[in-house]
Structure 1
């Protein structure tokens, strides 16, 4: 049995908790006994209780109404997601200007030299510019940093509200370094930078929505500065792997990335199945 002498004295908090019916059985008995010995306090408590009952009666019809849509959890979460997207879009606007300005000159020159339409960039050209800017730059606080593809995939899935494949390129000697979200006319693009284990060589995986582009095979493009991009389309998105590496080496890495993307998001480790090895296809271009 609890010794009442060990309990703190009755205070205002106890009286309000009594009115709100939030006292446990032991404390409730002590407050009731104390009120019997303090009639003035008991009168105040009765007045508080009457006010409580009146408020409950007045608000009962409102309490029975359905929760407004703007206060529902799903609506609040959607608002938070929209706010988060606005924030990263504002942060990425300057990056978009850099990509557009930096690539405009060499894109126009390359098209004129090859007899193409002036000003029309090659497919996934922005992937090479994103690699040039982010692969050589220092990490920024607005981006995700991780050393495992699964960690970045989880972060990106939370930002985009859909599963995302971040290729695991450890078999080729590359591990993830960081990831960025960039704006495009069709929706957010993903830029993941990898670094070669034991060296400062960087490689980029780029993905963006391309809903009006049909599926296409793996192809490659050379860029100024020795950068090479292998890219492909699956009918919904365009993907690109860019690095300053020989074509023969980068082609194998691109095949690896394409195979992982085609396989789709990985299930939890306990549910993963051993995938069959696939024969690489010939690169076109």
Structure 2
């Protein structure tokens, strides 16, 4: 997207004021001993997680489960999605020591499950594939019992770049579809719907547990959500999270609707009926929410299939 088009889009978005959130969009503080211990360690050692820096509403539950998410590749993304609060711009040079530091943070926090995500790096020849793969390798070397999930960009759908990440053998390979075909180009102009499905297909063909996410409230219809779920399952997606869009700033896409909690329960039932091995669906669910539990569901489902 050119700078001029980006400016026009953001100006149009700002014409709609930030929406008032409904009653059910709220979290309750639920701290426990594991959360308290991790919080003290993070503060003492100066560790950095997406959970804390993005103000994730699920931090209490995830940290209590000894799960956390890390952002790699810098703070500037080479692409712009209309729902995402990460800045678009020219990223800093690649930090090749970052995988080691992430692995050491996982070790220090004594995590049971770590999710690694990052910005798109179209400025690099390998689009950041080595960074993801090396981070998986470093985490596993220091933390052999820790589950590792990578939430990746599409690497332009290139099999060699995707293969580099697949060969590192993460526990789960996640790539988020996010929305439906009719509004996909408007919401994710640098991505392609079919290409995102193909990333899932390639990961499944490599023998990995696969995962994706759908955001509701961007302007999609119920029929389109259902079709996207069917597309994802048909592409080989094992696990799905379904979430409510929360607008980060007035520059971002307006919230088109608030989906009621009961409707999220219905979507979870529908996703299971379609055949997903694990589902998390709710207004405050995020793609890495209870990631370790979802992975366990996928492992159990595969074991059940192989036993029959």
TM-score by structure 2 length? Answer: 0.25
Bigger share in helix: 1
Q: Which has the larger radius of gyration?
A: 1
Structure with larger RCO (C-alpha < 8 A, sep 6+): 2
